Amino acid sequence: MPKSQERCQEIREETRNLIVKKSVLYFARNGFAGTRISDLSKHIGIAQGTIYIYFKSKEELYDEIFAISDKIAGNDKLTMLAKLPVPADQKIKKMSDYLIRSLKEDEMFVAGIALYTQRLLEGEADQSFYKTTEKIIKQGQKEGTVVAGNARKLSEFYWGIVYLYAVKSLYTADAAMISSADLARVLLEDRK
Amino acid sequence: MPKSQERCQEIREETRNLIVKKSVLYFARNGFAGTRISDLSKHIGIAQGTIYIYFKSKEELYDEIFAISDKIAGNDKLTMLAKLPVPADQKIKKMSDYLIRSLKEDEMFVAGIALYTQRLLEGEADQSFYKTTEKIIKQGQKEGTVVAGNARKLSEFYWGIVYLYAVKSLYTADAAMISSADLARVLLEDRK
Amino acid sequence: MPKSQERCQEIREETRNLIVKKSVLYFARNGFAGTRISDLSKHIGIAQGTIYIYFKSKEELYDEIFAISDKIAGNDKLTMLAKLPVPADQKIKKMSDYLIRSLKEDEMFVAGIALYTQRLLEGEADQSFYKTTEKIIKQGQKEGTVVAGNARKLSEFYWGIVYLYAVKSLYTADAAMISSADLARVLLEDRK
Amino acid sequence: MPKSQERCQEIREETRNLIVKKSVLYFARNGFAGTRISDLSKHIGIAQGTIYIYFKSKEELYDEIFAISDKIAGNDKLTMLAKLPVPADQKIKKMSDYLIRSLKEDEMFVAGIALYTQRLLEGEADQSFYKTTEKIIKQGQKEGTVVAGNARKLSEFYWGIVYLYAVKSLYTADAAMISSADLARVLLEDRK
DNA sequence: CATGAATGAGTATTCATTCAT
DNA sequence: TATGAATGAATACTCATTCAT
Nucleotide nearest to B2 (CA to C1'): E3
Using alpha carbons, list the distances in angstroms from residue D69 to A89, D72, D81, D120.
93, 5, 18, 11
- Give the pLDDT mean for A88-105: 95
pLDDT in tens, A137-190: 999 999 999 999 999 999 999 999 999 999 999 998 877 888 999 899 899 987
* CB nearest to B176's CB, from A122, A153, A161: A153
Lowest mean pLDDT segment, chosen from A98-102, B161-165, D75-79 = D75-79
**C152 interfaces chain D, CB cutoff of 8 Å:** yes
User: Is the Cβ atom of D49 within 7 Å of strand E at any atom?
Assistant: yes
Asked if D30's CB is within 8 angstroms of C34's CB, the reply is no
Q: Residue D24 and residue D64: Cα distance in Å, rounded?
A: 10
User: Is the Cβ atom of C56 within 7 Å of strand E at any atom?
Assistant: yes
**B33 interfaces chain A, CB cutoff of 8 Å:** yes
Q: State the pLDDT at residue D123.
A: 81
Residues facing A188 on adjacent strands: A146
Is the Cβ–Cβ distance between D70 and D112 less than 8 Å?
yes
For A89, residues 6+ apart whose C-beta sits below 8 A from its C-beta are: A140, A143, A145, A146, A184, A188
The CA angle D70-D74-D80, to the nearest 5 degrees, is 115
Residues facing D188 on adjacent strands: D146
Q: State the pLDDT at residue B2.
A: 58
Q: Residue D63 and residue B131: Cα distance in Å, rounded?
A: 66
Is the Cβ–Cβ distance between C137 and C151 less than 8 Å?
yes
Q: Which nucleotides in chain E have some atom under 7 angstroms from a protein Cβ?
A: 1-21
Q: Residue C40 and residue C42: Cα distance in Å, rounded?
A: 5
User: Is the Cβ atom of A36 within 7 Å of strand F at any atom?
Assistant: no
Q: Is the CATH code 2.120.10.30 the one for domain A5-68?
A: no
Q: Residue B175 and residue C4: Cα distance in Å, rounded?
A: 57
Q: Residue D15 and residue D11: Cα distance in Å, rounded?
A: 6
Asked if A32's CB is within 8 angstroms of B30's CB, the reply is no
Q: Residue A109 and residue B41: Cα distance in Å, rounded?
A: 38
Give contacts of D161 with chain C, Cβ < 8 Å. 160-161, 164
Give contacts of D152 with chain C, Cβ < 8 Å. 176
Is the Cβ–Cβ distance between D66 and D115 less than 8 Å?
yes
Nucleotide nearest to C39 (CA to C1'): E11
Residues facing C146 on adjacent strands: C188
pLDDT in tens, B3-22: 678 888 999 999 999 999 99
Cα-Cα end-to-end distance for chain A: 70
Q: State the pLDDT at residue D3.
A: 52
Best mutation target among C36, C164, C174 (most D Cβ atoms within 10 Å) is: C164
Q: State the pLDDT at residue B175.
A: 78
Using alpha carbons, list the distances in angstroms from residue C45 to B14, C37, C62.
48, 12, 18
Residue B189 has pLDDT above 90, yes or no: no
Kindly report which amino acid residue has its CA closest to the C1' atom of nucleotide E3.
B2
**Percentage of chain C lying above the pLDDT 90 cut:** 72
Residue closest to D147 by CA, chosen among C190, C162, C151:
C190
DSSP A103-141: HHH-HHHHHHHHHHHHHHHTT-S--HHHHHHHHHHHHHH
Give contacts of A183 with chain B, Cβ < 8 Å. none
Residue spans of alpha helices (H) in chain A: 2-30, 37-44, 48-54, 58-72, 75-83, 88-105, 107-121, 128-143, 151-171, 180-185
Query: From the CA of B48, how many Å to the nearest CA of chain A?
Result: 20
Q: What is the C-alpha radius of gyration for chain D, rounded to an integer number of angstroms? A: 19
Is the Cβ–Cβ distance between A102 and A109 less than 8 Å?
yes
Q: State the pLDDT at residue B191.
A: 61
User: Is the Cβ atom of C46 within 7 Å of strand E at any atom?
Assistant: no
Residue A51: pLDDT band by 50, 70, 90 thresholds? Answer: very high
User: Is the Cβ atom of B50 within 7 Å of strand E at any atom?
Assistant: yes
User: Is the Cβ atom of C101 within 7 Å of strand E at any atom?
Assistant: no
Query: From the CA of B27, how many Å to the nearest CA of chain A?
Result: 12
- Give the pLDDT mean for A67-72: 87
Residue closest to B126 by CA, chosen among B113, B135, B117:
B117
Residue C110: pLDDT band by 50, 70, 90 thresholds? Answer: very high
pLDDT in tens, C14-56: 999 999 999 999 999 999 999 999 999 999 999 999 999 999 9
Residue closest to D78 by CA, chosen among D112, D105, D104:
D112
pLDDT in tens, D16-64: 999 999 999 999 999 999 999 999 999 999 999 999 999 999 999 999 9
- Give the pLDDT mean for B120-146: 92
Asked if A121's CB is within 8 angstroms of B167's CB, the reply is yes
Using alpha carbons, list the distances in angstroms from residue D95 to B73, D2, D78, D117, D184.
76, 45, 7, 17, 8
Q: State the pLDDT at residue D1.
A: 43
Q: Looking at this protein, which amino acid is placed at residue B79?
A: T
| Length in residues, chain A | 192
Q: State the pLDDT at residue A162.
A: 94
Give contacts of C172 with chain D, Cβ < 8 Å. 121, 123
In whole angstroms, F10 C1' to A22 CA is: 27
User: Is the Cβ atom of B191 within 7 Å of strand F at any atom?
Assistant: no
Residue closest to D136 by CA, chosen among D146, D126, D127:
D146
Is the Cβ–Cβ distance between B112 and B73 less than 8 Å?
yes
Best mutation target among A32, A118, A119, A171 (most B Cβ atoms within 10 Å) is: A171
For A26, residues 6+ apart whose C-beta sits below 8 A from its C-beta are: A35, A39, A40, A43
Is the Cβ–Cβ distance between B169 and B161 less than 8 Å?
no
For C187, residues 6+ apart whose C-beta sits below 8 A from its C-beta are: C92, C137, C140, C146, C147, C154, C158
Give contacts of C152 with chain D, Cβ < 8 Å. 176
**A191 interfaces chain B, CB cutoff of 8 Å:** no
Residue A1 has pLDDT above 50, yes or no: no
DSSP code at position C32: T
User: Is the Cβ atom of A22 within 7 Å of strand F at any atom?
Assistant: no
Nucleotide nearest to B35 (CA to C1'): F11
Q: Residue D68 and residue D52: Cα distance in Å, rounded?
A: 19
Q: Residue A165 and residue A167: Cα distance in Å, rounded?
A: 5
Using alpha carbons, list the distances in angstroms from residue B63 to A20, A167, B20.
32, 22, 11
Q: Are A and D touching by the rule of 3+ CB pairs within 8 Å?
A: no
Chains meeting A at 3+ CB pairs closer than 8 A?
B
User: Which residue of chain B has the CA closest to A164?
Assistant: B160
Is the Cβ–Cβ distance between C75 and C129 less than 8 Å?
yes
Residue B109: pLDDT band by 50, 70, 90 thresholds? Answer: very high
Residue B110 has pLDDT above 60, yes or no: yes
Lowest mean pLDDT segment, chosen from A83-97, C162-176, D137-151 = C162-176
Q: Which nucleotides in chain F have some atom under 7 angstroms from a protein Cβ?
A: 1-21
Residue C2: pLDDT band by 50, 70, 90 thresholds? Answer: low
Q: Residue B134 and residue B119: Cα distance in Å, rounded?
A: 19
Residue C1 has pLDDT above 60, yes or no: no
In whole angstroms, F14 C1' to B49 CA is: 8
User: Which residue of chain B has the CA closest to A156?
Assistant: B176
Give contacts of A178 with chain B, Cβ < 8 Å. 153, 157
Residue closest to D82 by CA, chosen among D131, D136, D127, D130:
D136
The torsion angles phi and psi of A146, rounded to 5 degrees, stand at -110, 140
Residue C70 has pLDDT above 60, yes or no: yes
pTM score: 0.91
Is the Cβ–Cβ distance between A24 and A59 less than 8 Å?
no
Asked if B122's CB is within 8 angstroms of A153's CB, the reply is no
